[in-house]
Amino acid sequence: MKDELLLRLESFEIDEPGATFPFSARLARENGWTRGFALRVMAEYKRFVWLAIRAGHPVTPSEEVDEAWHLHLCYTRSYWDGMCGGILGKPLHHGPTEGGKREDEKFAGWYARTLESYRAHFGEEPPADIWPPLAIRFSPATTRKVDAATHWIVPKRTAKRVLLGSAAVATLPALAGCTNLLAATGPEGLFCFFGMALFLVVIVVVSKRGGRGGNGCGSGGGTTSSCGGGGSSGCGSNGGDGGSSSGCGSSGCSSSGCGGGGGGGGD
């Protein structure tokens, strides 16, 4: 049976009535989701907030739920006044991880306990497309937010094929020309041949390179979340009295971003 807190959270409207561009639309746009998926994430975010208060142990959100939490912090009146003040009766803070292996292990443990408590309290499996298994949740982060209006988004595999194909088209005739030059002039042609071969090798090596990062998040006493675009980052929240901190940029959390009073921290 649902307790009063969960019922109040479920009935809490984050989307402002009559808004042309409500919270759910912004959440969907910023993450490349459908509106329907964004609404599902918002429902899971409310469950996460309930667990942060009721589970009795630190909890950590999935990346999808964390995106909703991070964005909600930017809606300061809705978050601090409407939800924290009007429903929870206490602040739910959001701050960064300190980073490092120990923090990663801590957050992984918290996430595992969060999934366990989800099953125990809600009597069902967390939806895997919003609450992925531990191994997937804490796999190396390679995603980045990109403005599709100003950038083309091309799969890396496709880009590699195009790059290698273009390099081959440009280099092979040049190698043939160097071979003819080698037959005619000797050392100069040899230098040309090996120079073009080296260029082709560099193209192949560069096309195989790629960056990796990781992220972790959790909550001690209250809640924690990762925020920001890529790299190694995490955010936390403590459910005690005091000031507040929040970040509203696309690059991470900041106590001076757009949130309430002092306290907390930024990455």
DSSP string, 159-189: HHHHHHHHHHHHHHHHHHHHHHHHHHHSHHH
Full-model pTM: 0.64
Q: What is the pLDDT of residue 267?
A: 36
Average model confidence (pLDDT) across the chain: 75
Predicted local distance difference test score (pLDDT) of residue 222: 44
Beta bridge mates, 225: 235
pLDDT, tens digit, 9 for 90 and up, residues 179-230 = 665 566 666 656 666 666 677 676 666 555 544 444 555 545 444 433 333 3
Query: Rg for the chain (alpha carbons), in Å?
Result: 25
* Per-residue pLDDT reduced to its tens digit, 84-143: 999 999 999 876 678 899 999 999 999 999 999 999 999 999 999 999 999 999 887 656
Task: Give the pLDDT score at 50.
Answer: 98
Read off the pLDDT band of 153 (50, 70, 90): confident
Domain ranges of the chain: 4-13+20-141+213-237, 156-208
Query: Residue 27 pLDDT > 90, yes or no?
Result: yes
Residue 17 has pLDDT above 80, yes or no: yes
Higher-confidence residue of 149 and 232: namely: 149
* Residue 212 near residue 140, CB atoms below 8 Å: yes
Residue 51 has pLDDT above 80, yes or no: yes
